[in-house]
Chains A and B, each alone.
Chain A
Amino acid sequence: DAGVIQSPRHEVTEMGQEVTLRCKPISGHNSLFWYRQTMMRGLELLIYFNNNVPIDDSGMPEDRFSAKMPNASFSTLKIQPSEPRDSAVYFCASTVDRGLRGYTFGSGTRLTVV
């Protein structure tokens, strides 16, 4: 199994630009999560999907952030327009069985907005 696959690994963009982060969950996992990690705030849950349906987006910081999961094998997190304070590592994670076995995280995308 290739694990949770995220792309790109690194993204540097200018303030105001649109950024799209991508995630492919582990095949057969029916729940997908987007997290953001910073030194100051640690790991923050942004949104999670179950069976491709958004269940809880209360962690999405602003309307500039949006996430989609058009099918079981693909999800995107979009920031438009990006701001320097969005700089962080963004992780995607997936799980099955209501998370009883915990999550499997992707390698993350390190986003820098200048």
Chain B
Amino acid sequence: QKEVEQNSGPLSVPEGAIASLNCTYSDRGSQSFFWYRQYSGKSPELIMSIYSNGDKEDGRFTAQLNKASQYVSLLIRDSQPSDSATYLCAVNMNNFNKFYFGSGTKLNVKP
């Protein structure tokens, strides 16, 4: 089992819809969770962080964390074509500064 698992996609949604991206992790002691966006040919860019159970909202983005289920998700409301990218989930496995990345989910938002 990989430390962090994501569905590789692609996930296709129409413009204006809600995109839901999911991630599971193996270490129950994990404390910090991040979502990165990576456009083709570019470097990963941090878009959301979450540390406690529940929801965290930032503009059109909502991160959700359920530590009991070892599950973290990212919701993108009112999806735009500019949101088309690969979204990477990163989890701190209780090691000093060390994060594991999922393989990423490719999102396509169709106009």
CB contact list, B67-111 vs A, under 8 A: 88, 90, 92, 95-104
| Interface of chain A, main secondary structure | strand
For A102, give its contact among B42, B90, B96, B98 (CB under 8 Å): B90
For A43, give its contact among B44, B46, B51, B95 (CB under 8 Å): B44
- Quick one: CB contact mask for B42-54 with A, threshold 8 Å, 1 for yes? 1111100101000
Quick one: given A99-B32, A99-B92, are A105 and B45 in contact (CB under 8 Å)? yes
Let me know if A95 and B97 touch, CB within 8 A. yes
Let me know if A99 and B43 touch, CB within 8 A. no
For A108, give its contact among B32, B43, B92 (CB under 8 Å): B43
Quick one: given A43-B101, A50-B97, are A103 and B43 in contact (CB under 8 Å)? no
- Quick one: CB contact mask for A8-43 with B, threshold 8 Å, 1 for yes? 000000000000000000000001010000000011
Write out the residue numbers on chain A whose beta carbons fall within 8 Å of the beta carbon of B104. 42
**A98 an interface residue at 8 Å Cβ cutoff?**
yes
A residues at B contact (CB < 8 Å): 31, 33, 42-43, 45, 48, 50, 55-56, 91, 95, 98-108
Known: A106-B43, A108-B43. 9 other contacts (CB 8 A): A42-B102, A43-B101, A99-B32, A99-B99, A102-B49, A103-B44, A103-B99, A105-B43, A107-B43
Please name 13 pairs of A and B residues whose Cβ atoms are closer than 8 Å in the assembled complex, sorted by A: A42-B101, A42-B102, A43-B88, A50-B97, A101-B49, A102-B34, A102-B90, A103-B44, A103-B46, A103-B90, A103-B99, A105-B44, A108-B43
